[in-house]
Each structure stands twice: as C-alpha cells, then as structure tokens.
Amino acid sequence: MRRLLPLLVCPLAFGAEPAKPNPIIPGTNWQVHDMNRPKPAKVEAGKASCQASPAPKGAVVLLDGKGTDAWVPRGGKKPQVWPVKDGVMVATANDIKTKDAFGSGRYHVEWRIPAGRKVSGQSGGNSGFFLLERYEVQILESFDNVTYADGQAAALYGQYPPASNASLPQGEWQSYDIDFEAPVFAEDGKLIKPAVVTVVHNGITVHDRQELMGISTHKRVATYAKHPPTAPLALQFHGDPIEFRNIWHLPR
C-alpha cells in the first residue's frame, strides 16, 4: 500500500492530543494493520504453479513480455509506463493502469521480488494489484519478511490476511489467480452486493469467496462508495523494482 512520509519526532505541544490508534476492524478484535494479529502459517507452495501460465482462450492479454501497449501511467511528476526488458516489466516510477476497463472475471498475474533486496516490513519489496483501481491484493516479500498480517503478500489489504502464507523466496516467480465479482449498487448508491474475491497464491487457495468490506484504505476501516462495474486494473509503485510478467484477464 502507499507509503507515508516519515513523521518528525518531537515533544507534544501543550494541549496537543496523542495520535489515535488505528480503528478496530468490524467483526474482529484487531485494529487495522495490527502487528499483534496472528500471522498465517507458512505452507509449501509448488514451484510448478509459478511457471509461466499461458492465457486461456478468450482472455485479454495485458502483459506478454513484448511491450506495454495495454498500459498508461497514473500521475507522477514525470509519469511513465514501466519498461520491459527480457520479457519482464519492472516497476520504476508512479503507478500504472490499463487503458481499458475490466470488471468481474478471472485475473492472472506473475510477479517477483528481485533477489538480494533489503526488505523490512512494508519497505523494500512492496507493490499492489488493484482490481477496479480500488481493491488491493497486496504484493510483498513475505517469505522471510514479517509485517502486519493484513498487509503481507496475498492479503486483501487492510481487511483480511491470507489463510496461509504461500510465499516463495526472493528471486523466484510467484503467481496470483484471482476470481473477482464486482460489487453491485442501487441507483441511490446503496450497496446491494459486496465485492467477492477468491485468491490462489502459488497454487494455494488463500481466500475463498471472501466478501470485501469496501475499498482498500490505509489505517482506516474500509467502506464502499458507488462506482461503475468496470474500471482499469492498476499496479502500484511503492518505490521498489518489483518485476511482472504474464498478466491477463478472462471476463465472466
């Protein structure tokens, strides 16, 4: 998720109130990003599941190692699309998103933390896969690195940790297969049906038809706001050169 600028440490001014703790996630005993929330147990993921997976018939190919025609930048002082080298797209600056909008269906992405990265918590090996530009499946080095459970690899950021930690070491390709059902809203903006997500990380199901609480946020409880049923897919630049290959979408 997006990094925050470091705060200057200084004594509290007279009458100043201390920072409020992060709110409790509804239905749990845990605060958003609570370091005390139990961490998912590690499981051994099959490396075969992380071999390049060809797009099935009818899929929209978004990244095939030949170029970035499907992508545009999202803001930044000098916005750019990430470069592709030797068939791999490398995060270099600003977020990027697809030119076209997508909604419910299956998404596939393969990603890798470069070997030898110095990683600590949310720094050094961080990105995000955003469905409809709003709902984040976290990308993070979580094989050796420890962070808050709702922000580790394959977490539905700020809401649900994965059921298991299926992460592989730095330098190895990892995969997400995501089945997504977009939320449904009434004309007046009232939520009729929440978004539903299934995530398979390296061949291991870590979320099984999980209903999302709302749009992904940082240090806040997620809530919904009415939006169209389709929107671009987005990838986050968190200051780290995360690598991507083989991204596709199979519409429902």
Predicted confidence band at 1 (pLDDT cuts at 50, 70, 90)? low
Check: CB of residue 89 under 8 Å from CB of residue 246.
no
Answer whether residue 45 shows pLDDT above 90.
no
Q: For the chain, which domains are there? A: 58-251 (2.60.120.560)
pLDDT digits (tens, 9 = 90+) for 69-95: 999 999 878 899 999 999 999 999 999
In angstroms, how far is the first alpha carbon of the chain from the final one?
A: 27
> For residue 120, what is the DSSP state?
B
At 54 the pLDDT is: 83
Check: CB of residue 111 under 8 Å from CB of residue 138.
no
At 6 the pLDDT is: 37
Give the tokens for residue 139: 């990308």
Distance of CA 25 to the CA centre of its chain: 19
pLDDT digits (tens, 9 = 90+) for 178-232: 999 999 999 999 999 999 999 999 999 999 999 999 999 999 999 999 999 999 9
pLDDT digits (tens, 9 = 90+) for 97-144: 999 999 999 999 999 999 999 999 999 999 999 999 999 999 999 999
Answer whether residue 7 shows pLDDT above 50.
no
Beta strands 95-98; 105-112: pairing state: unpaired
Half-sphere exposure of 213 (CA within 13 A, CB side): 18
At 17 the pLDDT is: 58
At 27 the pLDDT is: 93
